[in-house]
Structure 1
Amino acid sequence: MKKKNTDGVYIELEDVIRLQHKASGFHFLPRQPLQSLLAGRHASRLRGRGLDFEELRLYQKGDDTRTIDWKVSNRARKAYVRVYSEEKERQVMFVVDQRLSMFFGSKKSFKSVTAVEALTLGAWKVLDSGDRVGGIIFNDCESREFRAQRSRQATMAMLSEAVKFNHQLGVDQGIIESPDMLNSSLEKLLHKPRHNNLIIIISDFHGMDEKTYHHVRALSRHNDVVLTLVYDELAKEFPENHFPIRLSDGIDQVELDLSQAKLRKSIPDLLQGRLKSLGDSLGKFDVPILPINTHEDVADQLRKILGGQHLKRAHKPQAMKGSR
């Protein structure tokens, strides 16, 4: 793969390897610190690892009566309880967006890079916790699925593919946007029976519709689902200069004359309105939403959101002020 000297626009394989050492201080288990976003109103939606049945044994004083196996107890004429242990590993699936809508960023990184960084940190952390990691990487044209495995080699193969997809992005690549690829990727997960998986969707959710809602709700019936919303801070701190800027959707380009005060004000208002609408829509899914912006270090953000550091209370997505 030819390296592009465009820091923050593309991510390199060596960046993915280096991030392995920053995958600490956060976790995806439901027992979150009180300050964690996952300890908020959606906490009951997170099941954590499942339980494996181990044995039947005689009831002992202090045992939870809810664990009594009444059928066995009636036959034996003695009280027996069912003993369970926590599953030794869990399957975590990442769904990562590398569509053209993600190829945008006004400060530190593009949304597409931020998404791969979030995937990388999450994947290394899951693997370090002894769980299996897999996922689906998708763009506007195709998707690639990776079976969940507890293997560094398999994880590295998935991350390498994410880097490959990332390098295929560009406004000069002739890419035609395909909003429905988000739904297509979620459908892939639905085609295989899944139970007690943790499914983490990392996207800007461009093209989200009723079908998306249906898919997420279906997945969340028997699994934990977390929506990681990647957004840009352009609306919060729009450029103060009066020089023209060029914006592109990958096909067409438009030049904006920022010397017009009315235009400078209307663009942030438009983007803030879009983000609020998106936040309202995502709120209907009744699953945790993790907002990740493009201008801060992703590892630091994950520690704040999932590790309870530096926060006095659980924050909701309203902290997001701008997006594209």
Structure 2
Amino acid sequence: MRDIPARIRTNTLPDPAPVPKGLDTRIHVTLPHLRGLEGPARGLHFLPRQPARSVLNGRHTSRLRGRGLNFEELRDYMPADDVRSIDWKVTARTGKPYVRVFTEERDRPTLIVVDQRMSMFFGSVLNMKSVTAAECAALAAFAILEQGDRVGGIVFGDDLRAEIKPARSRAALNRFLSALASANQLLRPEAPTVPPQSINQVLGAVARIAPRNHLVIVLSDFDVIDDQTRKLVRGLSRHNDLILGLVTDPFADNLPPDAKLVITDGVLQAAVDMSDSQVHRDLTEFAKRRVAEIVDWQRQFGISVLPLTSAEDSLVQMRRLMGLGRR
């Protein structure tokens, strides 16, 4: 399991092993299933011009800044040049006017970060949260490659992290989907218990790979966040376009008031009596506080938050959130 990141970097990762016939794709995704989302992804895009009802729009304009500019050269000022392009420091130093010439980036790198930790291996209505995150990641990856931009990603589990450098190529997309399917199929009730990798470690890796002018999409339930998470999100949002796909399950919003639950990490287990009103209230408020804090980052940092749920078809909700009709 631990050699997955190295095999991705060296492009030696084979397709995930064949899965049993009739595998329930609400629980685990397969590489063919993810590849099959290419057609449905058409119509989705992550360009600055968004439909009016898209959550990627701000109050007046798109939250997405689009492709940046690359500095090309300094040259002598010509009468037809825009005076705003004059480099006044160079002009003052040399005694003659110079202008800075820029060219628009031909494409823009996108990094899709997908959480496949054990906290995501839960679902009470339709999909596991891990499946919803994987499907939405695949839809976004196909849409971004289709619009001509570079796409790569980070797939992380409790004790693995695979990094795929953004590239405008089908090979990079296939490596990303293969890593995603492999990590997803490692999620099983009998999986060995290990200390989970923190979201802060992953966001630190994102800052290293995408220092500026990237589109960064993070799909996670954001299990266990703290002040450091907030600082990392704020730092990423200053120099990149940041979209947080917050994946939730309705069970957390409607905890049964009379249930007796057994919670386990695979080794230890604890009984939780939800008929105790204080226990029920504490757990409900804990779940709501985490969601409210992440949604509030949208206001604080000017980022976009996609509220994704494991209780609804991934394509349907992605199209709705991006202001598109049902297909």
State whether TM-score is above 0.5.
yes
Structure-2 residue corresponding to 1:298: 314
Q: Which amino acid aligns with 2:33?
A: D
Structure-2 residue corresponding to 1:115: 133
In structure 2, distance between residues paired with 1:29 and 1:203: 22
Q: Which amino acid aligns with 2:70?
A: D
Counterpart of 1:198 (choices 201, 215, 231) is: 215
Instruction: Encode CA deviations 1:150-206: one digit per residue, 9 max, x unaligned.
Output: 1112211111111111111122112234252x2111212233462201111110000
- Is residue 54–residue 321 contact of structure 2 (8 Å, CA) maintained in 1? yes
The reply to whether residue 289 of structure 1 matches residue 305 of structure 2 is yes
Q: Which amino acid aligns with 2:144?
A: V
Distance 1:252 1:195, change over 3 A: same
Q: 1:200 aligns to what SS in structure 2?
A: strand
In structure 1, distance between residues paired with 2:320 and 2:241: 20
Distance 1:42 1:200, change over 3 A: farther
**Structure 2: which 5+ residue stretches go unaligned?**
1-16
Structure-2 residue corresponding to 1:309: 324
Of 293-302 and 94-103, more deviation after overlay is shown by 293-302
Residue 59 of structure 1: how far off its partner (Å):
5.3
Instruction: Encode CA deviations 1:257-313: one digit per residue, 9 max, x unaligned.
Output: 89x6x77x975x66653343123322236221111111212122122222x1359xx
- Is residue 179–residue 207 contact of structure 1 (8 Å, CA) maintained in 2? no
Distance 1:192 1:116, change over 3 A: closer
Instruction: Encode CA deviations 1:1-42: one digit per residue, 9 max, x unaligned.
Output: 241523311111111111111112222223222211121259
In structure 2, distance between residues paired with 1:277 and 1:148: 34
Instruction: Encode CA deviations 1:200-234: one digit per residue, 9 max, x unaligned.
Output: 11100001112212222222222111111011122
Residue 141 of structure 1: how far off its partner (Å):
0.8
- 1:78-117 to structure 2, matched below 5 A, reads 84-117=102-135
Q: 2:38 aligns to what SS in structure 1?
A: helix
In structure 2, distance between residues paired with 1:280 and 1:12: 33
Distance 1:299 1:59, change over 3 A: farther
Counterpart of 2:250 (choices 222, 233, 238) is: 233
- Is residue 176–residue 251 contact of structure 1 (8 Å, CA) maintained in 2? no
Distance 1:29 1:255, change over 3 A: same
In structure 1, distance between residues paired with 2:259 and 2:240: 49
Distance 1:272 1:256, change over 3 A: closer
In structure 2, distance between residues paired with 1:87 and 1:179: 35
Instruction: Encode CA deviations 1:106-126: one digit per residue, 9 max, x unaligned.
Output: 111100111111111111111
Alignment length (residue pairs) = 301
In structure 1, distance between residues paired with 2:190 and 2:100: 62
Structure-1 residue corresponding to 2:288: 276
Instruction: Encode CA deviations 1:68-87: one digit per residue, 9 max, x unaligned.
Output: 55578888988x87665532
Distance 1:173 1:245, change over 3 A: same
CA root-mean-square deviation: 3.4
| TM-score normalised by L of structure 2 | 0.78
Percent identity between matched residues is 39
| TM-score normalised by L of structure 1 | 0.79
Structure-1 residue corresponding to 2:12: none
Q: 2:36 aligns to what SS in structure 1?
A: helix
Q: Which amino acid aligns with 1:3?
A: V
Q: 1:281 aligns to what SS in structure 2?
A: helix
In structure 1, distance between residues paired with 2:49 and 2:262: 46
In structure 2, distance between residues paired with 1:42 and 1:191: 32
- 1:182-261 to structure 2, matched below 5 A, reads 182-192=199-209, 194-235=211-252, 248-253=264-269
Distance 1:37 1:192, change over 3 A: closer
Q: Which amino acid aligns with 1:21?
A: G
Distance 1:237 1:151, change over 3 A: same
Distance 1:50 1:72, change over 3 A: same
- Is residue 114–residue 298 contact of structure 1 (8 Å, CA) maintained in 2? yes
- Is residue 44–residue 140 contact of structure 2 (8 Å, CA) maintained in 1? no
Distance 1:239 1:10, change over 3 A: farther
Instruction: Encode CA deviations 1:125-163: one digit per residue, 9 max, x unaligned.
Output: 111111111111111112111111111122111111111
The reply to whether residue 34 of structure 1 matches residue 74 of structure 2 is no
Residue 67 of structure 1: how far off its partner (Å):
4.0
Q: Which amino acid aligns with 2:31?
A: L
Structure-2 residue corresponding to 1:172: 190
Q: 1:172 aligns to what SS in structure 2?
A: coil
Q: 1:220 aligns to what SS in structure 2?
A: helix
